[in-house]
Chain A
Amino acid sequence: MAATDILGTSDAAHLLRRAGFGASTRDLVHFAPLTRAAAVAELLAPKPRRAKPPASARDTAATLSGMQRWWLRQMLAPRTRLQERLALFWSGHFATSWSELPDSVRLARQNMLFRSLGLGPFRTLLYEVTRDGAMLLFRDGASSEQPQANENYAIALLGLYALGPTDAAGMPNYTQTDVGQLARALTGYRLGPKDAFGHVEADAFDSGLKTLFAGNTAETSGNLGVEDATGVQFPAATNVLDLLFAHRDSQARPTLARFLARQLFEFFAYPDPDLALVDQLADAFVASGYVTGALVQAILEHDAFYGANARTSTVKSPVELALQSLNVLGAKSSLVALPAALADMGMALFDPPLVDGWNRGGDWLDAGLALARIDFAQALAAGRSGSTYALSPTRIFDPRATDDAALVDGLLARLDVVPSATSRQVLLDYLAGAVGLTPKDRVERKLRGVVALALSLPEFQRH
C-alpha cells in the first residue's frame, strides 16, 4: 500500500477513529474514495480557531464541567477533529490537573496552546509550555530561583516531556546531576496573578556556569538558560531547550525524536512498536525540523498504521469509546451527562489523574472501570432526551430487516465490530426474548437493550 492508494471504507473508518473520534455515515462517504495522502492532508489542513473554553474567575465544579463540555463539543466537530486529537494528546503528555490547580483561566489558556501549537513545531510548543502560567504553578517553576533552584519542572521536562528516563537499550538518558543543572538553568521565572506567561527576572535567575549532559554529544557548559529578562531566548548553543533536541541516546540516535515518535505512534496506533518503525518516524520528525504535524502525517500514512496490529492491539480510552459511540450511532447529546460519565470511566478532561496523564492500554482493564463502561453503554442506549443522550433505535436499525439476525448484523456492521460467534448468539437470544411484546415495547426494550449489549462487547472496547 502507498499513500497514493484509495482508502476504502474500512481504512477510512479506521483513520477517522484514530485521527478523530469516529466516523459518521457522511464522513465515510466523503473519505472512502480519497487517497491516504489526500485524506491525511485534509485532516492536517490548518483551521484557525478563536473560541476558548469557558473559563471563569469562580473556579467551581460547574466551571470545570462547562469547560469539559466545551471540549467535547470541539472534539465532535468534524472539521477540527485532528487538532482536537492532538490537544488531547498534549493534555495528557503535559498533564496539568484541575485537582491540583483549580484555575480555569490558566488551564483554558494552556489548553488553547495544545490546540493552536499541537501540530506545529514542537520546539515552539516546548517553549510556550515552559513559560505557561499553569505549568509554572503546577510544577513550581514560578517559585524556583537562584541560588536554591527547585527541580520539579526540570525532572518532568527530562523524564516526561522531552527525553524519557531511559532509551531503547535501557540506558539512562540523564543523571541526577543533569536534573540539578537543568533546574538551575530554568530558575528565574516569575508570574504575576494575571499573567498568562511567566517572565524571567534577572535577580532570580542563576547565571552561573552550568554543565548539562556531561559525556553526551549534547554536553555543554556555560551560562545556560531559556530566555533573558527582556524575553529574548538564549541562542541555541546555550539554550537548554535546544540542548534537549541535541541529546543523543546510547545508540547515538536523537533521543527526543525517538521519544516523541514512540509516544505519538502509541497514541494513534498500537503499543510497543518495533525500533525500526520508531526510527523511520523519528527520521521524518527530524527531517521536518521537528514539526509535530509532519510526524503525525508519517504515522497516519504508514502501512503499520493500517495493519492488523493497529486495529486490535489496544483499548479505547473512555473519550474514544463515548464519542465514537455517539458518532456511529448518530446519537445527539447536550453533553451535560458525559463529563461525569467520563470521570467515572477514569477520564476527567482537564483533570488527568497522574503525572503521565490518563490511563492507557491495559490500564483500562479494571473491574470498576469496566462497570462504568457498561453503565455508560446502558445510559446511552436508554437515552431518549437531548439532555442526556438522544438515541433513536428506528434510525439505527434497518427498517427493512426481516429477521433478528439482519438487525443484529446491521448494528455490528455499523459499529464495525466482529464479536465471537458466542457473543453474537447472545445478542440474538436477547432479541428472541421479545416474543409477545408490542412493536413499541420491542423497540424501546429490546432494540435499545441490544445496543447496550453491543456497546459493551469486549471486541468493541479494543481497537
Chain B
Amino acid sequence: MRVTRRRFIQGAGATALVAGAHVLALPRRARAALPVDPVVVLVELSGGNDALNTVVPLNNVGVPQRSLYDAYRPDLAIPAVDLAATQIGVDPVNGTGLALHPALTGLAGLYGMGKLAVLNGVGISGTAPFDHAQAAEIWAAGDPAGFAGTGWVGRYTDGELDPALPHALSLGVRASPTFASTAMNALGAPTLDPFALPDDPLFPDLAARRAAWQAIFAADAGDDALVAALRRAGAQALASEPTFSAVVFDGWGSQLENGPSPLHEDLHQVVSLLRYDVLFPAAASGIGLFHVVQPGYDTHAQQGTDNSGDRHATLLSQLSDALAKFYADLVALGLEGRVLVLAYSEFGRRARQNGVGEEAGTDHGSPGCVFALGGAVVGGVYGALPGLDALDAVGNPPVLCDFRRVYATVIARWLGATPDDFLPGGPFTPIDFLPAP
C-alpha cells in the first residue's frame, strides 16, 4: 500500500514504519469502488495520433461521417470492408457505426471483453495549439494556460502523498512534466533494465564508494537550488538502485519479454516492477504512477492505411500488441483490477489528407481519442465522434470533451481525491468509464 500524505500524517503517531520499507500498516480504503493501491500507467502517443484513422466511421447514421471521411481522405480512408473484425459500438450520441483501425486487433479484443473504453473527441478546448511542445505541455500540466512548474499528477502527489517518497516513474530520456511536483520526488530513467552500478573486480571498494556517494548526495544546508537538485538526483539514483537492480525482468513468463518494440520494453519494465512490489512488499518501490512514451505519430507524409508495414498501422499495431500483452500479464498476476492505463496524444490530425497516393499524410489537428484500459474500466464508447460536417477554418472537427474531464475522472474515481484541488478551470464532470464511487 502506498502512503498518502494524509495517511502519513494521521498514522505517524499510531503506526510504526516497517523496517527498510515505506509501507504503513493502515486500514485499506473503505470505499469498495476504489482500488487499494491504485496504479496509473500513462501512455503518451507522441507526435499527434491520427484519431480519425484510429476510431473510424463505418456509415452515415446521424451524420454523413463515412461519406465525408472518404471524400477528405481519398488515399488514407480505411475501406469499410477491412473494418469488420475491429468493429466496436456505435457513436453514443449520433448512432454512427464505429470501428477501430484494423491493426488494433488486440484492443478490439479487450473492447469485446468490456475492459477498454474509447473516448472520442477529447482535446484542448478553445484555441488549440498546433505546436507539439506546447500541446504536450498543456496535457502534462492539465492546464490550457500551459506548464508552470507542476504537472497534473505532480500536484496530486504533492497534495495527497508523502512528499519524502517517490511515487512516480517516467521512463524515457526526458522525464514527463506530468509528474513535476513541488516535492520533486518523481523518478526519471531511460530504462530500469539495467539500473545498477557494475561491480568491477579490477576496481574494488565499490561498497566504500557507495557509502561515500550517499554522504555526498545527502542534503547540505549550504546548497543553492541547483546543487540541491543535483544532490537529489544522485540520492534518488542510489536509493533506487537496490530495488530496481533486484527486479526480475526475464524468465517470469511476461508476454512482453522479447519486445518487439520499445513500448513493449517499457511496459515490460513497468509490469515487472509491479510484480516485484507484490512479491516483496517489504522492499517495494511503492511506485504506482508511470509514464511511458511511444513516439513517431507525426505522420505528415506516407501515413498509409491498413496495409502491413504502413507507417501509422505499424505504430498502432505495436501499441495494440503491447497493451494487450501488458493486460494479459496483469491478469496472470491478478493485478488487472488495480491498474488503469490511459493512452492519449497531444493532438489529433487534420480531417483532410495532404499529398496524394503513397505520399499522403495528415497535418497537425485538434481533437483526439483516448483509450482507457483496465480491469475496473467500464468498457464502451464514450462521446460523439467529432462531426466531419463541422470543420473549422483550419479544417479540424470540434473538440467535444475537454481533456481535463478525463483527468478529473481519474482523480475522483480512481485515486479517490478531489479533482478541483488539482485541475484549474473546473469543475469537470467525470466520465463513466470508471464507475462512480
Contact = CB atoms under 8 A, between A and B. Distances in A.
A365 interface: yes
Contact of A151 (B213, B238, B241, B363): B363
A171 interface: no
A429 B202 CA distance: 22
A346 B355 contact: no
B200 A367 contact: no
A421 B237 CA distance: 22
Contact of A145 (B209, B241, B355): B355
B202 to A, nearest CB: 6
A359 B241 CA distance: 23
A234 interface: no
Interface in B147-197: 170, 173-175, 187-192, 195, 197
A365 B197 CA distance: 18
Contacts of B230: 315, 365, 370, 458-459, 461-462
B225 to A, nearest CB: 10
A64 B254 CA distance: 32
Interface in A68-90: none
Given A370-B236, A382-B203, A422-B220, A150 B363 contact: yes
Contacts of B112: none
A329 B217 CA distance: 23
A365 B301 CA distance: 35
Nearest to A353: B173
Interface string B195-213: 1011010111100110011
A458 B216 contact: yes
B302 A366 contact: no
Interface residues of A, number: 69
Given A152-B301, A374-B237, A366 B187 contact: yes
B190 A369 contact: yes
A279 B198 CA distance: 49
Interface residues of B, number: 64
A430 B214 CA distance: 12
Contact of B213 (A176, A353, A355, A374): A374
Interface string A132-174: 0000000110011100111110010001000001000000000
Given A150-B363, A354-B173, A365-B229, A427 B189 contact: no
A420 B363 CA distance: 52
A401 B236 CA distance: 35
A117 interface: no
Contacts of B213: 374, 453, 456
B332 to A, nearest CB: 27
Interface in A11-48: none
Contacts of A430: 208-209, 212
Contacts of B174: 346, 353-354, 359, 363
Contacts of B359: 143, 145
Contact of B190 (A155, A346, A452, A459): A346
Contacts of B296: 100
B203 A448 contact: yes
Interface in A177-218: 177, 179-180, 183
B395 to A, nearest CB: 9
A344 B190 contact: yes
B209 A449 contact: yes
A240 to B, nearest CB: 17
Interface in B222-246: 222-224, 226-227, 229-234, 236-238, 240-241
Contact of A453 (B188, B212, B361, B363): B212
Interface stretch (B128-136, B318-326, B377-385, B427-435): B128-136
Interface string A367-395: 11111101100100110100000000000
A446 B224 CA distance: 30
Given A140-B361, A371-B197, A458 B208 contact: no
Interface in B334-387: 353-356, 359-361, 363-364
B355 A148 contact: yes
Which of B191, B213, B233: most chain A CB closer than 10 A? B233
Interface in B389-404: 394
B226 A312 contact: yes
A356 B174 CA distance: 11
Interface in A408-452: 419-423, 426-427, 429-430, 433, 445-446, 448-449, 452
A7 B228 CA distance: 31
A180, A384, A430 interface centre (most CB from chain B within 10 Å) = A430
Contact of A368 (B190, B217, B227, B355): B190
Given A344-B190, A378-B200, A382-B203, A365 B233 contact: yes
B205 A367 contact: no
Contact of A143 (B190, B205, B232, B302): B302
Interface string A291-310: 00000000000000000000
A231 interface: no
Which of B187, B208, B364 has the most chain A CB atoms closer than 10 A to its own CB?
Answer: B208
B393 to A, nearest CB: 8
Given A370-B233, A456-B213, A458-B216, A445 B241 contact: no
Contacts of B218: 422
Contacts of A139: 300
Contacts of B205: 433, 445-446, 449
Given A369-B190, A374-B197, A150 B233 contact: no
- Central interface residue in A367, A430, A461, A462, by most chain B CB within 10 Å: A367
A315 B232 CA distance: 14
A438 B85 CA distance: 74
A176 B226 contact: no
A368 B189 contact: yes
A362 interface: yes
Nearest to A420: B220
B91 interface: no
Interface in B58-103: none
B300 A458 contact: no
A369 B364 contact: no
Given A176-B130, A420-B220, A422-B220, A453 B209 contact: yes
A457 interface: yes
Contacts of B233: 364-367, 369-370
B202 A382 contact: yes
A223 interface: no
B200 A159 contact: no
A370 B244 CA distance: 14
B200 A368 contact: no
Contacts of A356: 133
A13 to B, nearest CB: 20
A157 to B, nearest CB: 12
Contacts of B191: 368
A148 B354 contact: yes
Given A145-B355, A150-B300, A179-B130, A433 B226 contact: no
B248 interface: no
B70 to A, nearest CB: 16
Nearest to B133: A356
Interface in B251-277: none
A327 interface: no
15 contacts: A143-B359, A151-B354, A176-B394, A363-B174, A367-B240, A370-B230, A371-B197, A371-B237, A374-B234, A375-B197, A378-B200, A382-B203, A384-B202, A430-B208, A430-B212
Listed from nearest, the 6 A-B pairs whose CB atoms lie closest are A368-B189, A366-B188, A152-B300, A458-B230, A140-B301, A382-B203
Given A100-B296, A355-B132, 17 more contacts: A150-B300, A155-B364, A159-B133, A315-B230, A353-B173, A353-B174, A354-B173, A354-B174, A359-B173, A367-B188, A368-B189, A368-B190, A370-B230, A422-B215, A453-B216, A456-B234, A458-B216
Interface of B: 129-134, 170, 173-175, 187-192, 195, 197-198, 200, 202-205, 208-209, 212-213, 215-218, 220, 222-224, 226-227, 229-234, 236-238, 240-241, 296, 298, 300-302, 353-356, 359-361, 363-364, 394
